[in-house]
Structure 1
Amino acid sequence: MLKPSSSVRVFLYNQPMDMRKSIDGLALIVEQQLEQRPFDGDLFVFCNRQRDKIKLLYWERNGFVLWYKRLEIKPLFASILRKNRSHQSFPRDERLSPTGS
């Protein structure tokens, strides 16, 4: 189970992502497009064009963790991804929650 600490920042990449990308490709996007450091322990969220698949990338102690999920219900981030920004960061209480609580 994924339980990030209270100090973890979450970044949602708002552009559709090719879900064939793996750790190295996603870490490169974090560095070049999000202008963040992938080794700082922050959580980076990527969605495909249909918004029914997500990948989470984060650094844990001695290596990257890549988490993949296919969503079977209405996509969680559909309204956020319609905004015209390259990424979105969330305060602690809004992370990965469809209701913001």
Structure 2
Amino acid sequence: MLREAYGIKRIIIRTGKTDLRMGVDGLAAFIRLNYGMEPVDDGTLFLFCGNRRDRIKGLIYDRDGFTLLYHRITDGVYQWPRNTEEARNLNREEFEKLMDGFAIEGSIRYKKKI
């Protein structure tokens, strides 16, 4: 679903953990306050990952309002960068790897332990 989001010109992930209880207003304020960026930048997809790493939220603005995307995988976890709490630009290849369950810096896919 996130891959097919229309009009994406730029992808920015928030490394580290994010409280996914936040909605549109909370995430937009988080982007402004912590990174000094404008979430109303048309075509910029902001991605956030929670503690469990099996779900992510995306926030994108498209001329007339925000779209909040939510994706939870049932088998495995996202290999989300956890080392720092920063906003990081992703190119399309890194985005595809992340969505496929691979680490951005490596090529290992991890399955969730049950």
Question: What TM bracket, shorter-length normalisation?
Answer: 0.7 to 0.9
Query: What is the aligned-residue identity percentage?
Result: 29
User: Which shifted more, 53-62 or 66-75?
Assistant: 66-75
Match of 2:75 among 73, 76, 89: 73
Aligned positions, number: 97
Post-superposition shift, 1:12? 0.8
Amino acid at match of 1:92: R
Q: Which one has the largest radius of gyration?
A: 2
Structure 2: runs of 5+ lacking an equivalent: 105-114
Q: TM-score, normalized by length of structure 1? A: 0.80
Q: Which shifted more, 50-59 or 12-21? A: 12-21
**Please, which moves more after superposition, 89-98 or 37-46?**
89-98
5+ residue gaps, structure 1: none
Shift of 1:44: 0.3
Backbone CA RMSD of aligned residues: 2.0
Q: 2: distance between equivalents of 1:71 and 1:84?
A: 24
CA 1:30–1:82: 2 relative to 1, 3 Å: same
Scaled by the length of structure 2, what TM-score is found?
Answer: 0.72
Question: Residues 84 and 97 (structure 1 numbering): CA distance in 2 closer, same or farther, change over 3 Å?
Answer: same
Distance 1:77 1:43 in 2: 18
* Higher relative contact order, chain-length normalized (CA < 8 Å, sep 6+): 1
